[in-house]
Amino acid sequence: MVAIPIRTRVATSLGSLASAASRRLGRGDGSVIGGRVALAVDPGALAALAGDRATALVSGTNGKTTTTRLLADAVRSRGPVVTNATGANLPSGIVSTLGAAGPGTAAVLEVDERYVPRVAPVLRPATLVLLNLSRDQLDRYGEVRSVSDLWRRAVAELPATRVVANADDPLVVWGAGTAAAVTWVGAGLEWREDAVGCPSCSGPIRWDDDGSWHCASCSSRRPPLDVRLEGDDLVLADGSRTTLALALPGRANRANAAMAAAAAVPMGVALADAAAAMADTTEVAGRYRTVQVGQTTARLLLAKNPAGWQELFDLLRPAPLPVVVCINARDADGRDTSWLWDVPFERLRERPVVASGERCHDIGVRLQYADVDHTVEPDLLDSVRAAGREVDVVANYTAFQALRARLGRAA
């Protein structure tokens, strides 16, 4: 029998008990209460819970939760996995997640992009996935390049970690540039408005027709790719191909799957096995789920910033199907809603739109300037009912969670 250090046993007990208390209080992921209790009692609980488990961390502005789910599904094909499936990605949530798992259980964890420097050096992951960086929660994060700098300093201190990085994002390339070992993935970058200046010298970034990029003022450029996404295929540097037959819709999810598949390899999962394990995932934390609200059939989608909306427009079903746009501005969303003016809502002109959520009037003003026919209905469920018999509902983070909670109570 392997002896488990006393501190690890204590940290595990704290995390497990606090998570159970959180669930009884209606906080199913334990991220707020459970983890905070454990860290208050033992500030070193995260290090104690790290143990010798194989860990993968996933971070970036968009796609964290989906990529974490896909990677967890891939790693689970080899054995048990613990993961923060609901997106509890701050240290308190990670402690609570690990506290609910036995020592040695593999972990696949989503991490808030600003907390990578705090979490990664403690957990010493086998794999660190860096997806993308773009403007998000401007009142909390400020200039997005500062996050890239934080990553760059953090990965320099992880000599045993394999970094899996999106080579098509100049900010990610800069952030991963000090890593000892990098798998460069050509996952694509649809939103380029936050990558116009070189993070190395501030010179202009030039984009080529094939999606590659280079700085016009210095030697920075897209690194040679180890894996690239080509349609539905993952193509390795030697030309070999693995098909991604995903149930999840859209280019963004193929990109998430490409990153997850590449990250599964350092975790001991063959690329083809990872692709097969991800094929049956149909929804992630309620996203893409279809629900019934009275006489209305609603499909739930999440978009929380301009880059997310850029990808989501292609997922909306064709006009004239109506769309409900739900916007909150709580701490988890960012209080600053100026990002709404960076989203090309003009693309909704051919369909009726309902503006909803706590900041329904903010989105209403934006839709008015976009010449989009719309109504304003603050109540989330009433907004869905008002839209018609079939509707796509797009919400940002806390609006999405509130809608899911109310749908659960309504059921």
Look up the pTM and report it: 0.91
Give the pLDDT band (50/70/90) at residue 243: very high
Compute the distance between CA of residue 57 and CA of residue 369 in angstroms, rounded to an integer: 41
pLDDT above 90: residue 9: no
The pLDDT tens digits of the residues spanning 303-334 come to: 999 999 999 999 999 999 999 999 999 988 98
Strand pairing of 353-356 and 374-376? parallel
pLDDT above 80: residue 383: yes
Query: What pLDDT is attached to residue 284?
Result: 93
Query: What pLDDT is attached to residue 36?
Result: 76
Mean pLDDT, range 174-189, rounded to an integer: 97
For residue 365, give every residue at least 6 positions away whose Cβ sits within 8 Å of its Cβ, in sequence order, or none.
Answer: none
The pLDDT tens digits of the residues spanning 125-166 come to: 999 999 999 988 765 656 789 999 999 999 999 999 999 999
CA 172: distance to chain centroid?
A: 15
Compute the distance between CA of residue 344 and CA of residue 361 in angstroms, rounded to an integer: 17
Is the separation of the CB atoms in 286 and 400 below 8 Å? yes
Give the pLDDT band (50/70/90) at residue 41: confident
Query: What pLDDT is attached to residue 15?
Result: 52
Is the separation of the CB atoms in 106 and 93 below 8 Å? no
pLDDT above 60: residue 13: no
**Token couple for 79:** 């054995």
Give the pLDDT band (50/70/90) at residue 32: low
CA distances from 11 to 4, 39, 44, 51 (A): 11, 9, 9, 11
pLDDT above 90: residue 184: yes
The pLDDT tens digits of the residues spanning 96-126 come to: 999 888 888 999 999 999 999 999 999 999 9
What is the sign, positive or negative, of the torsion defined by CA atoms of 314, 170, 183, 218? positive
The pLDDT tens digits of the residues spanning 257-300 come to: 999 999 999 999 999 999 999 998 999 999 999 999 989 999 99
| Domains of the chain with CATH codes | 50-278 (3.40.1190.10), 290-410 (3.90.190.20)
Query: What pLDDT is attached to residue 241?
Result: 97
Query: What pLDDT is attached to residue 138?
Result: 61
Give the pLDDT band (50/70/90) at residue 22: very low
Mean pLDDT, range 402-409, rounded to an integer: 86
Strand pairing of 227-230 and 233-236? antiparallel
**Token couple for 147:** 């996050």
Give the pLDDT band (50/70/90) at residue 12: low
Give the pLDDT band (50/70/90) at residue 30: very low
Check residues 38 and 339 and name the one with the higher pLDDT.
339
